[in-house]
Amino acid sequence: MTHPDTATHQVRGACPHDCPDTCSLLTTVSGGVAIKVQGNPAHPATAGTLCTKVSRYTERTYHPDRLQQPMKRVGAKGSGQFEPVSWGVALSDIANRLHAIAARGPDSAQAILPYSYAGTMGLVQGDSMSARFFHRLGASLLDRTICASAGAEALTQTLGGKLGMRIEFFAESKLILIWGSNPIASNLHFWRHAQEAKRRGARLICIDPRRSETAEKCHEHIALLPGTDAALALALMHELIHRDWLDHDYLAQHTLGWELMRARALQWPPERAAAVCGITPEQIRALAQAYGACRGEAGPAAIRLNYGMQRVRGGGNAVRLIATLPALIGAWRHRAGGMLLSSSGSFPVNRAALQRPDLLAGRRPRTINMSTIGDDLLRPASAEFGPAIEALVVYNSNPVAVAPDSGRVVQGFAREDLFTVVLEHFQTDTADYADYLLPATTQLEHWDVHAGYGHTDALLNRPAIAPLGQARTNTQIFRELALHMGFTEPEFTEDDQTLCGLAYGDAVDFEALLAKGFAPVTQVRAPFAQGQFPTPSGKCEFFSARLAAQGLDGLPDYLPNHEAPGSSAHYPLAMISPPARNFLNSSFVNVQSLRDIEGEPLLEMHAQDAKARGLNDGATVRVFNQRGQHHCRLVVSHRARPGVVHGLGVWWRKFGLDGTNVNQLTSQHLTDLGRAPTFYDCLVEVTTVS
């Protein structure tokens, strides 16, 4: 139905942000202007509420700094000085530059790298026409590891996929372990169910180095050292075995490798793990008792795991261990028992239909890991690496702010001989380095269709308003670039509504999506009550033959951090940099009303560590290590335990006190599984700024 521009009406949409909640939105439009964005009360998972950030979505969309015309660099690289150009000039110049690289030889297009992540989680504006374009071109492929790949690989090796409990059933659990997760800040709609469980008498235990907003609302908080979760899980197993708090029947029928796992876990008495984790053996025994008591009638017990705890060297192994815990007590038998890290494996998305890897036509370009973009931009051509990266096309991501080891990332982006195109809403830290900066539409201005990783509903997003200024959708920009490159295949003419329809094909009722804005993708309630794990063995795999075949340990183990707490005399503090509540990664940092709440880049520190360094609350401090330094405001805080500091992320560098953010300190070391970054595996020292 179309509406006259003057009438007030509501448009159904989907929140595009990288968050487990994937909310259903209702946008009120009046006179062609979006005046309000609200949570859709008809969508059960959203239940009519939004987080503070997204309820300000109109402030972001109509921000005076929104990019509204294509721009070309005029100043020095990185100076952020641009002049407006027409779309025609921008696109033909970009096409000429890319064509010149691609035309040099059979594989020369590999010198071109697309760089994108989850600025929008939309399946269409995320990576559809863009992927077709780069496949047709033969550009390098991108290994999209920056967030979740360690945990994802661990789940796949252990449970067989990114599957788990349904979020709403946590309300019926008797014990909830909130492990490496701060739902009040980053998974608000889960917290609703946890609170409901609490009201019904459930016990909530938070396992997190930081006394987060969530930790202080739980019955108990276990503040372990970063990167020691695997040791805690092993000792928990030790106690469950030692006390015989096991569901022997479930273990025998539905798991693989239990005897091997049992032998390893028996090497981890609570005393050993407590020393590693920086907690007491009593805390571990009490945790085991609470968890063990939940087998059978006293249960069920549920674990809400989040990605916070896998951003360390042993993150993959830690997720593997925690993912097996429900099998020990048979928690999966009940729909309110088990665990959830991600439900994304429930979505039958037809990525090939959207991204058309067949356009590679038999070519096999190299793959670049997005988490080592700092080093890779600085790598010369070589036999093993292939050609140096000569052109970079960035969309849906802000790597200069979010990728680890910013010193190297900035050095890479500053290369005079690198040709960089950035598609953005705003002039971010990354956009400052663009040769061409192209204005993209926001979620209020385009079509899209969504999967999620918290709940199991597909969502549809309709445009609520016309694109602002000359902004264009990502898809339209790549369609037109394809035209300028002379790509004449019909794949480059499909419009966005057609692409939306391809995402699920027949697997989801598209008419229902169009009508309601959301539709369930599965009716499964207790996925592993009868075993039936989608692993090669059909069982929960303590032992993974697939990992063993790769020369890795088939059994999960505790792997100390690359930069283990206490291992360096120069850098005695372990720094983690979890999300700030009012930002979404680096998105929203430029929205004034939200930045006002966060104030300044902060470092939380325990009073004892502050005293030892003569640091006062509110001081400007220098946080440093061998990679760099970052100035920020010290908060002497009850949220920090001794030995651990928190640099809440992810600020734009240009809003920082000294033009940097926490990633100036993080490293490009990778995780054990999934080739992911280790943002929370980082040692630093802190002094006053003299």
Ligand X SMILES: Nc1nc2c(c(=O)[nH]1)N[C@H]1C(S)=C(S)[C@@H](COP(=O)(O)OP(=O)(O)OC[C@H]3O[C@@H](n4cnc5c(=O)[nH]c(N)nc54)[C@H](O)[C@@H]3O)O[C@H]1N2
Distance of CA 146 to the CA centre of its chain: 7
342, 355, 396, 664: residue in contact with ligand X (rule CB under 6 A): 396
β partners of residue 628:
625
- Three-class DSSP labels, 124-166: HHHHCHHHHHHHHHCCCEEECCCCCHHHHHHHHHHCCCCCCCC
* 241 vs 640 by CB, closer to ligand X: 640
Closest separation in Å from C-beta 355 to ligand X: 16
Binding mask 465-484 for ligand X (x = CB under 6 A): ---------x----------
- Chain centre to alpha carbon of residue 73: 31
Look at residue 125 and give the partner it binds from ligand X, Mo ion, none, a contact being a CB closer than 5 to 8 Å depending on partner kind: ligand X
- Are 237 and 272 in contact by the 8 Å Cβ rule? The answer is no
User: Residue 578 interacts with ligand X (CB under 6 A)?
Assistant: yes
Taking the least distance from each CB to ligand X, the nearer of 258 and 453 is 453
Q: Are strands 436-439 and 419-424 parallel, antiparallel or unpaired?
A: parallel
Tell me the closest approach of the beta carbon of residue 579 to Mo ion, in angstroms: 8
- Write the interaction track for ligand X spanning residues 620-649; mark x where CB under 6 A is met and - where it is not: -----------------------------x
Structure tokens belonging to residue 618? 């509110």
Q: What is the edge-to-edge ordering of all strands in the sheet holding 518-520?
A: 448-450, 457-461, 518-520
End-to-end CA distance of the chain: 64
| Tokens standing for residue 206 | 């938070």
Q: Is 131 in the site for ligand X (CB under 6 A)?
A: no
**Between 270 and 454, CB nearer to Mo ion:** 454
How far is Cα 574 from Cα 551, in angstroms, rounded to an integer? 31
For residues 300 and 404, give the distance between their C-alpha atoms in angstroms, rounded to a whole number. 39
The set of residues, in sequence order, having a beta carbon less than 8 Å from that of 257 and lying 6+ positions away, is 541, 542, 543, 544, 554, 555
The least distance separating ligand X from the CB of residue 305, rounded to whole angstroms, comes to 9
Q: Does 227 bind ligand X (CB under 6 A)?
A: yes
Nearer to ligand X, 246 or 288 (CB): 288
Count residues near ligand X (CB under 6 A).
60
Binding marks (x or -) toward Mo ion, 565..604, rule CB under 5 A? ----------------------------------------
- State the Cα torsion 585-590-594-599 to the nearest 10°: 90
DSSP string over 203-234: EEEEE-SS--TTGGGSSEEE-PPTT-HHHHHH
Residue number, 478 or 518, with CB nearest to ligand X:
478
Our finding on whether 170 is near ligand X (CB under 6 A) is no
The residue within the footprint of ligand X, chosen from 147, 303, 636, 645 (CB under 6 A), is: 147
Phi and psi at 206, nearest 5°, equal -105, 130
Would you say 18 or 405 has its CB closer to Mo ion?
Answer: 18
Distance CA 175, CA 686 (A): 38
CB of 187 to Mo ion, least distance (A): 12
Candidate residues 127, 153, 168, 229; the one interacting with ligand X per rule CB under 6 A: 229
Q: Which stretch binds Mo ion (CB under 5 A): 140-148, 444-452, 535-543, 568-576?
A: 140-148
Choosing from 407, 501, 554, 579, the residue that interacts with ligand X (CB under 6 A) is 579
Q: Smallest distance from the beta carbon of 590 to Mo ion, in angstroms?
A: 19
Tokens in use for 612?
Answer: 């030892």
State in angstroms the smallest separation of the CB of 662 from ligand X: 5
For residue 136, give both structure tokens.
């047709």
Residue tagged 């409901």 (tokens) = 196
DSSP character at residue 36: E
Per-residue x/- marks for ligand X, 282-321, CB under 6 A? ------------------------xxxx--x---------
180 binds, among Mo ion, ligand X, none (CB under 5 to 8 A by kind): ligand X
Tell me which residue of 156, 149, 250 sits closest to 535, measured CA to CA.
156
User: What is the distance between the alpha carbons of residues 86 and 68, in angstroms, rounded to a whole number?
Assistant: 11
CB closer to ligand X, 544 vs 661: 661
Across 370-442, where does the E strand assignment appear? 391-395, 419-424, 436-439
601's tokens:
């880049």
| From the list ligand X, Mo ion, none, partner contacted by residue 649 (C-beta under 5 to 8 A by kind) | ligand X
Rounded Cα gap, residues 637 and 577, in angstroms: 15
Q: Does 369 bind ligand X (CB under 6 A)?
A: no
| Binder of ligand X out of 662, 670, 673, 686 (CB under 6 A) | 662
When binding is defined by CB under 5 A, the residue of 147, 288, 302, 513 that contacts Mo ion is 147
**397 part of the interface to ligand X, by CB under 6 A:** yes
| List 18, 153, 247, 432, residue binding ligand X (CB under 6 A) | 18
Sequence letter at residue 310? Q
Q: Which of 624, 679, 685, 686 binds ligand X (CB under 6 A)?
A: 679
Q: Which of 39, 160, 226, 326 binds ligand X (CB under 6 A)?
A: 226
Residues 232, 240: contact at Cβ < 8 Å? no
Q: How far apart are CA 285 and CA 269, in angstroms?
A: 10
- Site residues (CB under 6 A) for ligand X, limited to 173-202: 179-182, 185-187
For the chain, helix, strand, coil in percent to 5 are: 35, 20, 45
Phi, psi of 304 (to 5 degrees): -100, 105
User: Which of the residues 107 through 126 are near ligand X (CB under 6 A)?
Assistant: 117-120, 125
Cα gap 129→396, rounded to integer Å: 13
Instruction: Count the Cβ atoms, other than its own, within 10 Å of residue 36.
Output: 13
Closer residue to Mo ion (CB): 17 or 646: 17
Residues in region 430-449 near ligand X by CB under 6 A: 440
For Mo ion, the closer CB: 151 or 387: 151
To ligand X, the closest distance from the beta carbon of 570 in angstroms equals 21
Helix (H, G, I), strand (E, B) or coil at 184: helix
Counting contacts by CB under 6 A, is residue 67 touching ligand X? Answer: no
The residue ranges that bind ligand X (CB under 6 A) are: 16, 18-19, 117-120, 125, 146-148, 179-182, 185-187, 207-210, 212, 226-227, 229, 306-309, 312, 395-398, 402, 423-426, 428, 440, 474, 576-579, 581, 583-587, 649-650, 662-663, 666, 679-680
The residue ranges that bind Mo ion (CB under 5 A) are: 147
